[in-house]
Amino acid sequence: MRICITGAAGFIGYHLSEYFASRGVTVVGIDNLNEYYDVTLKQARLDALARHPSFQFARLDLADKSALRAVFANHGFTHVMNLAAQAGVRYSLENPDAYIASNVVGFHNLLECCRAFPVEHFVYASSSSVYGLNTRMPFSVHDNVDHPVSLYAASKKSNELMAHVYSHLYAIPTTGLRFFTVYGPWGRPDMALFLFTKAMLAGEPIKIFNQGNMRRDFTYIDDIIEGVVRVLAAPPAPNAQWSGEHPDPSSSPAPYRIFNIGNNNSVSLMEFIRVLEQALGMEARKEFLPMQPGDVPATFANIDDLHAAVGFRPSTPLEVGIPRFVSWYIQRYGR
């Protein structure tokens, strides 16, 4: 295996790179180290990866097609895991151009590279945000997802559509993974767990949107990595039972699949905060606010298809995952 991992300096990209590189697998990590959040955290992740001889890093932007093509030409990848994206629902309201450049143009460039330099499997990060206005729970990959409520979500839905085209036209095996609220050590500073922990330790109030009436399918990073590793090793085959009369969005007569990766357990935000308070040994000062534009009140992943395909169900409870994050945070940033 020779794997290209884009977004290698990011949260999930770092953990996946660490998984493979620590096992001697050749990993080429790509990242543009943009300033969406603390670049020193991204660099610290890369510094940790640099101790592995099988890890190489290429700093480039996916929108730079010629530079990306040169990396593919030089390495002959067998697998590609695309975790690079302009992240964040709220940021997409302020900086929409960044999402088109990275999540649409950059994604297209990756597909073109996989066409020019064929790979065994192209796997990419989609998002639970594609469910948008859907309210039937748990969210199923067999349901239509044509009503996103943020440009970020729309860009992720576009990735699924573009991947299908390349699977159909060029027989590139592609799998999209809809991640559900990933958390854990080395997590993103713009995510709730990081923001809440930082504010509580500083004695500041935490901002709780929709008056606290939020539910999320919180998924621990180690579960995400195990799921990704299993999926990478299982390229999709065309679905011979697929019917154009009753089209199933999750598969195709092409080698194309979509999976949810979530904990299959929707937890209230207030319960999430309670577990964090317990881990930190302090009560949070709470500021209750209205729902933010582009957000959704609840997420909940049906993962039956993932389990049927690769025999895996995420299972780490908050009572285990949150204390692990807190331990990492205090070790890195102090109290």
Provide the annotated active-site residues. 152
Per-residue burial over 187-220, b = 16 or more CB atoms within 10 Å of its CB, e = otherwise: bbeebbbbebbebbbeeeebebbbeeebbbbbbb
Tell me how far CA of residue 258 lies from CA of 94, 115, 127, 174, 277, in angstroms: 29, 20, 11, 9, 36
Pairing of strands 79-82, 182-183: unpaired
Phi and psi based region of residue 291 (left: phi greater than 0; alpha: psi -120 to 50; beta: remaining) = beta
- Strand, coil or helix: what is 140? coil
CA atoms within 13 A on the CB side of 302: 13
Q: Point out which residues pair with 179 in neighbouring strands.
A: 127, 261
Among residues 85, 111, 123, the alpha carbon closest in space to that of 229 is found at 123
In the structure encoding, which two tokens stand for residue 42, read together? Answer: 């991204």
In the structure encoding, which two tokens stand for residue 314, read together? Answer: 């995420």
